[in-house]
Chains A and B, each alone.
Chain A
């Protein structure tokens, strides 16, 4: 299988890039793929805690790029899956500590050993963004159903296209189907219509994301997590499978409901 470099980006901060990176990476590893996650948010390292790997960090991406250690030494092996690795961001350095040219070399090197290289992009459109997209084949744009987020997504899509990254797909995160139903949140059709971009998936607003982030266990590991299920389906789409879209109004089936009640009672 030819390896793919995927950048997860958004423009606007806090819309779910890191959550998406952790969950898609873990879901692809669950499917037996070799995956490395790269945190390029220099100075605001987060992917390590979302993955629950913060205690294992010795070296970071800047150390590896500046030759303070070998690339292999900076890669942290996941606790759960053999084929899953994390290259953490540096916490104390500047965004300008790495260059797009270095990033391109780095992802190029990793292609030899991994099926998927997933790059978690920082918010904004400055150097951190340019670093993150430098070596990417595909882009996944994350947006929430809000005016400011969709607006920033539009800007990012323009910048991605201008830099030759034409293969962009959209994940709509934190969709609240109840609000959509009562007409107080833009629906998927509205957003796709406005951005004219291919939809990769829809992730509902879900408390299990918070719980799983607390634990450092991505939600895809939790069978009963609705958001986790959405991310598992997106991972299958990335693998080229045709998987029906979450429409936002999936009725909760009786079994799930029952399980939830039992869980609460525990």
Chain B
């Protein structure tokens, strides 16, 4: 690294290198691209979730909501799954 680069990085207020910014922005934008490019993605995730959860409890499949939500610097998978009852066997 050239001396000038080191100095300018030292004195500039943002110390994150632009490549790290590029990488994080890319990750973020790709999660979205990949999810929105295929609407089947969320649907098949939904189906798989239902399959697994049904082994443990009764749920309202119609009322189930699964979404990707944007936050400032991250993406969250948010699921809202109304439970209608528990299986006795699951507690045993």
Tell me which residues across on chain B come within 8 A of A146, comparing CB atoms.
Answer: 22
Select one of A147, A182, A190 contacting B2, CB under 8 A: A182
Whether the pair B19, A154 counts as a contact (CB closer than 8 A) is no
User: Quick one: CB contact mask for B32-56 with A, threshold 8 Å, 1 for yes?
Assistant: 0110011000000000000000000
B30 CB–A CB distance under 8 Å = yes
Contacts A154-B33, A155-B33 given; indicate if A184 touches B19 (C-beta within 8 A): yes
Main secondary structure of the interface of A (DSSP, over half): helix
On whether the beta carbons of A185 and B19 are closer than 8 Å, the reply is yes
Taking a contact as CB atoms closer than 8 A, the residue among B23, B30, B33, B38 that contacts A190 in the complex is B23
Question: Closest residue of chain A to B6, judged by CB?
Answer: A182
Question: Would you call B19 and A194 a contact (CB within 8 A)?
Answer: no
Give bound CA distance, A125 to B30, whole Å: 17
Q: How large is the interface on B (under 10, 10 to 19, 20 to 34, 35 or more residues)?
A: 10 to 19
Set B19, B29, B38: member contacting A183, Cβ < 8 A: B19
Main secondary structure of the interface of B (DSSP, over half): helix
Chain A CB within 10 Å, residue with most, of B2, B20, B30: B30
Report yes or no: B23 in contact with A155, Cβ–Cβ below 8 A: no
Q: Which residues of A contact B5 (CB under 8 A)?
A: 182
A184-B26 contact given A154-B33, A155-B33, A158-B34, CB 8 Å threshold: no
Q: How far is the CA of A183 from the CA of B19 in the complex (A)?
A: 6
Q: How large is the interface on A (under 10, 10 to 19, 20 to 34, 35 or more residues)?
A: 10 to 19
Residues in A with CB closer than 8 Å to B1 are 181-182
Chain A, Cβ-Cβ closest to B27 = A194
Closest chain-B Cβ to A35's Cβ sits at a distance in Å of 34
- Per the bound structure, the CA–CA distance linking A246 and B29 in Å amounts to 28
Residues of B within 8 A of A190 (CB): 19, 23
Query: Bound complex: CA of A151 vs CA of B19, how far in Å?
Result: 15
B residues whose Cβ falls under 8 Å from a Cβ of A: 1-2, 5, 17-20, 22-23, 25-27, 29-30, 33-34, 37-38
Q: List 15 A-B pairs, Cβ < 8 Å.
A: A147-B22, A147-B25, A147-B26, A150-B26, A151-B29, A158-B37, A180-B19, A183-B18, A184-B17, A184-B18, A186-B22, A186-B23, A186-B26, A190-B19, A190-B23
